[in-house]
A and B are shown apart, each in its own frame.
Chain A
Amino acid sequence: GDSVTQMEGPVTLSEEAFLTINCTYTATGYPSLFWYVQYPGEGLQLLLKATKADDKGSNKGFEATYRKETTSFHLEKGSVQVSDSAVYFCALSAPLSKTYKYIFGTGTRLKVLA
């Protein structure tokens, strides 16, 4: 079945370090891919998305490219800040016959130290 696999955390980085959080997926058809972020005590917020192969989603310095050949959607940021400390979820969305499915990865906790 369809699934999303994320690298396990926690990931601990120093401020201004480069961030990569790996995400791979399996899906039939052509899903859209998303990254959501969850700050402590809050719900999930959409960070970025890509809807077709080779699309690059970007927001707040974060980027991810939809790679169909490697079925990946890795999240990157060139210089992280303490305020980026949160849990990051990779997700895919794919249509079903009369509805759609939204599948989330298990989340990767990022901790950025000053």
Chain B
Amino acid sequence: KAGVTQTPRYLIKTRGQQVTLSCSPISGHRSVSWYQQTPGQGLQFLFEYFSETQRNKGNFPGRFSGRQFSNSRSEMNVSTLELGDSALYLCASSLGQVISTDTQYFGPGTRLTVL
């Protein structure tokens, strides 16, 4: 079974631009979560989508948004990029059951650099 894939793997943007990252979950998984990973803050939860609906959201500004399509693929968008948005963005998929045993499976991440 193919794992979680993320595209692109690397991105370089300048301040003020916007960016869209893509994530394809494991087949059969209906939940997709996004995380921002930085050396200083560690893993921070951005949001979670399930069946095309945002089910949970972290404490990030409105410049960060996402969506999920009917095939469970997800995109996240960051508008008006700031230097501090430079990070590894990780996508994780799971079955989406609301039980504690639901395991998340991570993609390799997209490394975003904002100049």
Contacts and interface: CB of A to CB of B under 8 A. Distances in A.
B108 A42 contact: yes
Given A93-B102, A104-B42, A107-B42, A99 B90 contact: no
Contacts of A51: 100-101
Tell me if A's interface is mostly helix, strand, loop or mixed.
strand
Contacts of B33: 102
A96 B56 CA distance: 10
Contacts of B92: 44, 102
Contacts of A42: 108-109
B55 interface: yes
A91 to B, nearest CB: 8
Band of interface residues on A:
20 to 34
Interface string B1-25: 0001010000000000000000000
Nearest to A51: B101
Tell me if B's interface is mostly helix, strand, loop or mixed.
strand
B86 interface: no
A93 B98 contact: no
Interface of A: 29-32, 34, 36, 42-46, 49, 51, 89, 92-96, 98-102, 104-107
Give the top 4 A-B pairs by smallest Cβ distance, nearest first: A43-B106, A32-B100, A44-B106, A99-B55
23 contacts: A34-B103, A43-B4, A43-B6, A43-B108, A43-B109, A45-B106, A46-B104, A51-B100, A89-B43, A93-B100, A93-B102, A95-B98, A95-B100, A96-B98, A98-B55, A99-B55, A99-B98, A100-B102, A101-B56, A102-B92, A104-B42, A105-B42, A106-B42
